[in-house]
Structure formats: structure tokens, C-alpha cells
Amino acid sequence: MKTENFYKSKLLVEQHFHGCFGVDFGTCTSDEILFLSKKLLTHGIGGFFPTLVTDSIENIKRQIEQIKIAKSQQTPEMATILGVHIEGIFINPDKKGIHDEKLFLKPTTENYKLIEDDLIKIVTLAPELDENFALSRYLTLKGVKVQAGHCVGADLNKCDGVTHLFNAMQGINHREQSTALSALIEDKIYTEIIADGVHLSEDILSLVFKTKPTEKIILVSDSLPLAKSNLKEMIFAGEKIISKAKKAISASGTIAGSTMVLDEIVRRLAFNDPENFEKYVKMASDNLYNYHNIELEGCIYWDEDFNITAVEKDGIVLYKDY
């Protein structure tokens, strides 16, 4: 919605990122999560799902506990922790990306129960490895969103969404079924996209925007702790990751994640296509409210160059922290 001098929108929601401002959800303390929560809100992100990469069972459980502690201590000037997104351990080694395949587990209900927690709200898995879709069915009964990712399976009937479309999944072949093709043609499937200019080409973005119903597209950053920090390199998921030319890459050249945060991705899309600014904002807000059946009290004020000028949440007004 455009007002006299600026745009006003709902608060953004980030459902897939591993950290930023130097904070890594895989290793951080609850105090660091609280620090990050404050930073996120000044970027218009009113709610978020800390995303955990493949790790040992012990480390995953430890970090979920740190996130739970942080959630219990949050205050109104912070972005709200909405749940945990488990991206790793139940994925396909053939599409592992930078994940450590030595730590992968077969996607079974028994293995999921090793890490199960009420705070887990999204699980990324390889549906082709989920025998009889037993784990997917169990997660659905528990109210957990099932997303296909790091996979090659084309049958998405038991999935709610797809994790970072086209990245770490079987792409489109004109003679075969594939994960990406199923995600594009099945209107019920929500699709995450990383529109940072690195993970997807502009032509692929055009294809997604023309193919998918607008209300089923979810913008995510997949940002790493390198984003919005002075760090040039770090160890992430057991690998050395280097920030170079707006890319976060491993020593082998694999793209590891993004160096942008969500409001920057919205601004990038709007700068290239200003007439559809409100549509892009909804892909990072309204669509997630509907997907997760949530509502956040607050709003964002944007200027005509798509910069955030102020953020309001629960009656508290904050100004952009650059």
C-alpha cells in the first residue's frame, strides 16, 4: 500500500537462513540469537525460522535448546522466533551441496524422533528417500511443513513446499519428470526462491514468476553468518566458506548460501522491476503468513527507492540500522 510519502507493508518473515551479522545458528548461544533478533527487526523482518544445516544429533539438539531459550527471553523490539527449520540430515547425497553426507540419516520417523521438538516447524527432506512417505505423513500429522530439497524426486504429493527452487535439486529435462518441474506445475506447492542474483538467473526468475501463482512464491535469503558482517571467510557445515564478489562459496567452488538479507532481496527485485514492488513484498510477507497460518502485529515504512525508513512492531517504532 502506498501512502503520501512512502510505502507501508506488513512485516517480512524469513523461513530459511543460517544466520547473519556474524551469528551462526549452528554454533551460537541464546544471547547471540537475541542480538540477531534485534538486528533483524530493523531490517523489517518481524518473524523468522532459524535454519539448521546438517550436523550431529547432539549438536542439532543443543542448538534447538539455545533457540528455545532465546525465544523465552524475547522482547518486543526483536523479530519473533516462529520455529526451527531443519534443512539437513534427511537429504540426498547426490544433491548434498556443502552438507556433510557422513552425517546424513535415512528419512524415517524413528530417526526424526532422535531430534524431534515442538519448536521444529519445517523439515527439508528428499522425498524419494522417504519410504512410503512415512516420515512426511508423520510430520504432517504433527503440523510440521514438509519441503522437498537437496533431492531428485518428482513426486511432491506429500510435500507442502520446495526448498530453494532449482538449487540442489533435479532441474528440468524436457523428456523427464523432476523436482523443479513438479514444483513449477503443481499450484498447491509453495516454492522458496533465492533471488539474490547469484543463485538464480534473471531468466529463471522470470520463468518462476510467470509459471507459479504469485501467492505460492516465498522469497528467502538462505543467508550465512557472513551476511552483514566483516567476515570474509568462516567454517560452515564443516567447510571453509569464502565471501567473494557477493558470493559465498566453498573451496571447491560450490555456492554455499547468500550474503544478502531478506529486505535487500526485496529491494533488489523492486529496483529492477519497480511496478511489481508490492508483489515482491508479499512474497516475503503475506505468502508466509498464509503458509504458516500466522499473523504479526506491525508494519514497515519504505521510501520511494525501496529502502526501509522505519519499522513498527507491537507499538514500538525502530529505524533502519544500516
> 2 lies in a domain?
no
Model pLDDT for residues 286-312, shown as the tens digit of each residue? 999 999 999 999 999 999 999 999 999
Model pLDDT for residues 249-278, shown as the tens digit of each residue? 888 888 889 999 999 999 999 999 999 999
Total structural domains within the chain? 1
Residue 50 is predicted with a pLDDT of 98
The SS3 assignment for 129 reads: helix
Interatomic CA distance for residues 152 and 190, integer angstroms: 17
C-alpha cell at 129: 528417500
The SS3 assignment for 57 reads: helix
Residue 249 is predicted with a pLDDT of 85
Interatomic CA distance for residues 296 and 14, integer angstroms: 13
Which residues form the domain of 130? 7-319
CB 12 within 8 A of CB 46: yes
State pTM to two decimals: 0.96
Interatomic CA distance for residues 185 and 198, integer angstroms: 24
CATH code of the domain in which 170 resides: 3.20.20.140
> 1 lies in a domain?
no
Left if phi > 0, otherwise alpha if psi is -120 to 50, otherwise beta: which for 265?
alpha
**How many CB atoms are located within 10 Å of the residue 131 CB?**
10
Q: Give 185's pLDDT tier (boundaries 50, 70, 90).
A: very high
> 239 lies in a domain?
yes
| N residues, the chain | 322
CB 258 within 8 A of CB 194: yes
> 264 lies in a domain?
yes
> 252 lies in a domain?
yes
> 154 lies in a domain?
yes
Q: Which helix (H) or strand (E) holds 125?
A: strand 120-125
Whole-Å CA distances, 212 to 24, 40, 96: 32, 28, 26
Q: Which residue has cell 522466533? A: 81
